Amino acid sequence: MDGKTVRVALLGCGTVGSEVARLLTEQADELAARAGAPVELAGIAVRRPDKHPELPQHLLTSDAAALVESDVDVIVELIGGIEPVRTWLLTALRKGKSVVTANKALLAEYSAELSEAADSAGADLYFEASVAGAIPLLRPLRESLAGDRITKVMGIVNGTTNFILSAMDSSGAGYAETLDEASRLGYAEADPTADVDGYDAASKAAILASLAFHSRVTASDVYREGIANVTSSDIAAAKALGRTVKLLSICERVTADDGTESVSARVHPVMIPRSHPLAGVGGAFNAVFVEADAAGELMFYGQGAGGAPTASAVLGDLVAVARNRVLGGRGPRESAHAALPVRPMGQTPTRYHISLDVADKPGVLAQVAQVFAAHEVSIAAVRQRDRLSTASLVIVTHLAPDAALRATVEEIGKMDVVHEVVSVMRVEGED
Ligand SMILES: NC(=O)c1ccc[n+]([C@@H]2O[C@H](COP(=O)([O-])OP(=O)(O)OC[C@H]3O[C@@H](n4cnc5c(N)ncnc54)[C@H](O)[C@@H]3O)[C@@H](O)[C@H]2O)c1
Ligand SMILES: N[C@@H](CCO)C(=O)O
Ligand code: NA
C-alpha cells in the first residue's frame, strides 16, 4: 500500500448508509488495494446511537456537525434533504475534505455552490448514486463522453412510477388502485408525493441536463408533470397504437432557427412505441437513453434504487475520491462553461397524441383539422373508427411548440361536435 490511510465519515445509516457501512467493512482489503491506501471508516453519524446495536459502538455519534469538523478526509453523506446537510457539506468542502453523496434533492438546487466550494479548496464532489442508483451514468456523461456533443438524455429515472405504470399497462387497472398495490408491496413510500408527482425525477433531470450540456439547470427550471392523472383510458389508447406510457425525464439540446441553443429539461408522462428500448424497461428498473453526435445512441440500464445497488455507486465514488487523494489530484471539475439558457416548456417542440370521441357526421374531421391549422400545428396521422352514434378519432401531430399544442387541445375540448377528449399525451421516440 503506498498512501496514508483515507479516513471516512459516514453521515446517515439508513437504507443506503447501512449497506455502505457493511461493504466498507467487509471489503476493506479490496477497497484499499483499489484506492492505493487503506479506506478507514472513522465515524458514523446517526440520529440515535442506542438504536444501532449492530454497528461498532465506538464509531457512533449523534453529532454529525462535529464529525464533519473532525480529522477525516472524506464525507459520505446519506441523510438526504437540504438543511442541515448543505451547511455541513459546504463546511467540509471549504476545508478541503472530499464529499460523496446520493442526495439528488440537494444537488439539483445547490450544485453550483457546492462545486465552487469544492473547486476553491481542491476537493472532490462525487454523486453517482444521486441519479439512477447503481447505474454508472454520471461519470460516463462527465468523463467518457467529455469529447462528444450530447444532444439528448432521456430516461426512466424513478423506479416507483415505472413500477406503477408497468403494472397499469399489464393489468389495465387504474392509477389509484395500482398505487395502493405498490404501497402494499413496499415499492411506493408512505408519502409517495416526491415520486408520483415527478419531483424526484425533476431533480434527476436537473442533474443530468447540467452535466450533459455543461450548463446550470436546477430542479425549479425543470417542467414537471407526475403520473397521478394517467388513466386506464390513456394506457388503452397507447396500447391500441402499439405504444406504452412511461414517465420520462427528458433533457434535450434545442437549436432555434437562428442557430442559438438552449436546453429543454422536463418530466412528464409520454407514449413511446413498444419497440423503443425504454418501453421494455419494466418494474422498478431504471434506464437512460443518451444520444451524442459521434457516439450515436447509448442505453444505460439497471437498478436505480435500493440499499445495496445504491451503495455500489457510493463505494465506486468513494474509491475514486480516495484514489485521487492518494495520488494528490482530483477528479473532473464541474463544467458549466456552455451556460445554455433553459427553454420554457411552452416554446419546447413536442408532439401530441390526442384521442377524441366526436359526433359521427359529415364535416367533423374537417372542423377538428381546422383548429390544428389555426394553431399552426401539423397533423402527422389520423385514425377514425366508427361506433354507433359517435366516431373515435386518434390524431398524432408533428413537432410543434408545446404551448400551441396545448391551446389546440383546449379549443378542441370546447367544440360541440367533440363528445369527449379521451386521452391527451405527448409522444416520444419515433420519427
Ligand atoms: N433508498 C434508495 O434507494 C436511494 C436511491 C438513490 C439515492 N438515495 C438517496 O440517498 C440518501 C439516503 O437515502 P436512504 O433511503 O438511505 O434514507 P433513509 O431515510 O433510509 O436514511 C437516512 C438516515 O439518516 C438519518 N438521519 C437523519 N438526520 C440525521 C442527522 N441529523 N444525523 C445523523 N443521521 C440522521 C435517519 O435517521 C436515517 O437513518 C437520500 O439522499 C436519498 O435521496 C436513496
Ligand atoms: N424514490 C426513488 C428512489 C431512487 O432515487 C425511486 O423510486 O426511484
Ligand atoms: Na448512478
> Phi, psi at residue 331, to the nearest 5°?
-75, -175
User: Which helix (DSSP H) or strand (DSSP E) does residue 60 occupy?
Assistant: strand 60-61
Residue located nearest, by CA, to atom 3 of ligand 2: 305
User: What is the per-residue pLDDT for 387?
Assistant: 72
What is the arithmetic mean of pLDDT over 61-65?
Answer: 98
What's the pTM value of the predicted model, to 2 decimals?
0.97
What is the arithmetic mean of pLDDT over 293-314?
Answer: 97
What is the arithmetic mean of pLDDT over 83-108?
Answer: 98
pLDDT at residue 104 greater than cutoff 80? yes
pLDDT at residue 3 greater than cutoff 90? no
Give the type of residue at 245: V
pLDDT at residue 291 greater than cutoff 60? yes
Rounded to the nearest angstrom, the distance between the alpha carbon of 48 and the centre of ligand 2 is 25
Rounded to the nearest angstrom, the distance between the alpha carbon of 81 and the centre of ligand 1 is 8
Kindly report, residue by residue over 250-276, the tens digit of the pLDDT: 999 999 999 999 999 999 999 999 999
User: Which helix (DSSP H) or strand (DSSP E) does residue 405 occupy?
Assistant: helix 402-413
Kindly report, residue by residue over 367-421, the tens digit of the pLDDT: 999 999 999 999 999 998 877 778 999 999 999 999 999 999 999 999 999 999 9
pLDDT at residue 91 greater than cutoff 80? yes
Give the type of residue at 338: A
- Tell me how far apart the alpha carbons of residues 55 and 36 are, in angstroms, rounded to a whole number: 26
Q: Which residues pair with 7 in a beta bridge?
A: 40
Instruction: Give rounded-to-5 percent helix, strand, coil for the chain.
Output: 40, 25, 35
35-41-42 Cα angle (round to 5):
125
Q: Name all residues whose Cβ lies below 6 A of ligand 1.
A: 11-17, 45-47, 64, 78-80, 102-104, 129, 133, 305-306, 310
| Pairing verdict, β 98-101 and 39-45 | unpaired
What is the arithmetic mean of pLDDT over 80-106?
Answer: 98
| % of the chain exceeding 70 in pLDDT | 99
Interacting residues of 364 by C-beta distance below 8 A, sequence separation 6+: 358, 391, 417
| DSSP conformation letters of 191-219 | S-HHHHTSHHHHHHHHHHHHHHHTS---G
Residue located nearest, by CA, to atom 5 of ligand 1: 305
User: What is the per-residue pLDDT for 82?
Assistant: 97
Give the type of residue at 62: S
Please, is 4 exposed, middle or buried when counting C-beta atoms within 10 Å of its C-beta (0-12, 13-18, 19+)? exposed
Rounded to the nearest angstrom, the distance between the alpha carbon of 103 and the centre of ligand 1 is 9
User: What is the per-residue pLDDT for 2?
Assistant: 56
Q: Give me 179's grid cell.
A: 398505487
User: What is the per-residue pLDDT for 178?
Assistant: 96
Biggest CA pair distance of the chain: 83
Note whether 73 and 8 are within 8 A (CB). Answer: yes
- Tell me how far apart the alpha carbons of residues 38 and 44 are, in angstroms, rounded to a whole number: 17
| Axis crossing angle, helix 28-35 with helix 307-327, rounded to the nearest 10 | 40
Q: How far is CA 168 from the centre of its chain?
A: 21
Question: Is residue 227 very low, low, confident or very high in pLDDT (cuts 50, 70, 90)?
Answer: very high
- ipTM of predicted complex: 0.99
**Per-chain mean pLDDT for the chain:** 96
CA dist 115 to 37, 97, 141, 322, Å? Answer: 26, 13, 17, 18
Rounded to the nearest angstrom, the distance between the alpha carbon of 11 and the centre of ligand 1 is 9
User: What is the per-residue pLDDT for 107?
Assistant: 98
The active-site residue out of 95, 204, 239, 246 is: 204
Residue in 351, 390, 357, 391 with CA at minimum distance from that of residue 372 = 351
What is the arithmetic mean of pLDDT over 120-125?
Answer: 96
| DSSP conformation letters of 105-127 | HHHHHHHHHHHHHHHHHT--EE-
User: What is the per-residue pLDDT for 389?
Assistant: 78
Least confident of 83-97, 312-326, 381-395: 381-395
What is the arithmetic mean of pLDDT over 307-322?
Answer: 98
CA dist 366 to 129, 351, 371, 399, Å? Answer: 52, 20, 9, 21
For residue 204, indicate whether it is catalytic: yes
User: What is the per-residue pLDDT for 332?
Assistant: 86
- Tell me how far apart the alpha carbons of residues 206 and 224 are, in angstroms, rounded to a whole number: 11
Please choose from 10, 11, 13, 15 the residue to mutate so as to test ligand 1's pocket, defined by most ligand atoms within 8 A of CB.
15
What is the arithmetic mean of pLDDT over 318-337?
Answer: 93
Please choose from 23, 100, 130, 310 the residue to mutate so as to test ligand 1's pocket, defined by most ligand atoms within 8 A of CB.
310
What three-state secondary structure class fits 263? strand
Give 342's DSSP letter. Answer: B
For 108-186, list the strands marked E by DSSP. 125-126, 150-156
Query: Between 185 and 40, where is the model more confident?
Result: 40
User: What is the per-residue pLDDT for 150?
Assistant: 98
| Axis crossing angle, helix 307-327 with helix 15-26, rounded to the nearest 10 | 50
What is the arithmetic mean of pLDDT over 173-198?
Answer: 92
Sign of the alpha-carbon dihedral angle for 210, 215, 221, 227: negative
| Residue that is written with C-alpha cell 476537493 in the block | 123
R_g over Cα of the chain: 24
Question: Is residue 1 very low, low, confident or very high in pLDDT (cuts 50, 70, 90)?
Answer: low
350-179-351 Cα angle (round to 5):
10
- Tell me how far apart the alpha carbons of residues 249 and 238 are, in angstroms, rounded to a whole number: 19
Query: Between 185 and 235, where is the model more confident?
Result: 235
CA dist 280 to 28, 243, 287, 382, Å? Answer: 38, 11, 10, 26
Least confident of 1-5, 39-43, 194-198, 415-419: 1-5
